[in-house]
Amino acid sequence: MSGDEICLTLPADEAFHGVAHLVLGGLAVRLDLTYENLQDLELALDALLERSSEDGDVTVLVRVGDGAVHTVVGPFSSLRAELEAGDGDALDLRRILAAVCDRVEVEDRDGSQWVELTKTVQTGRRDGG
């Protein structure tokens, strides 16, 4: 399966984070991802959603292709410093994302920061489900 993409924009309020989990879980089932892959993706998504502004919207874009799940989350007002700071043994956002994702990148778009996570996965279905 390649080229699948889901874009979800929802209020940043914590009450709506479960909707993002439902969408991610549905995609994981469709792709036949392992439970461990799903847990990693959910942990990374939660870590980012916890840092979103409570008074706006947050967009989660999930794209599947080339043996990986690419998740783009934003906008954030300032997240780059937290992701680039090397704070030793502290369990911070940088360490959490590095532990569960293969690549983490921050991109500036229209005065905001967006985070792209890449997680290499093995899918059970390659024929589109």
DSSP-derived secondary structure for 2-49: --EEEEEEEE-SGGGHHHHHHHHHHHHHHHT--HHHHHHHHHHHHHHH
3-state DSSP assignment of residue 69: strand
Tens of pLDDT, residue by residue over 79-95, are: 888 887 766 666 788 88
* Architecture in CATH of 4-120: 2-Layer Sandwich (3.30)
Q: Where are the domains of the chain?
A: 4-120
Q: Model pTM?
A: 0.85
pLDDT surpasses 60 at 106? yes
pLDDT for 10-52, tens place per residue? 998 888 999 999 999 888 888 888 899 999 999 999 999 998 8
In whole angstroms, give the CA distance from residue 91 to residue 3: 34
Whole-angstrom CA distances from 98 to 26, 92, 103, 104 are 24, 10, 7, 7
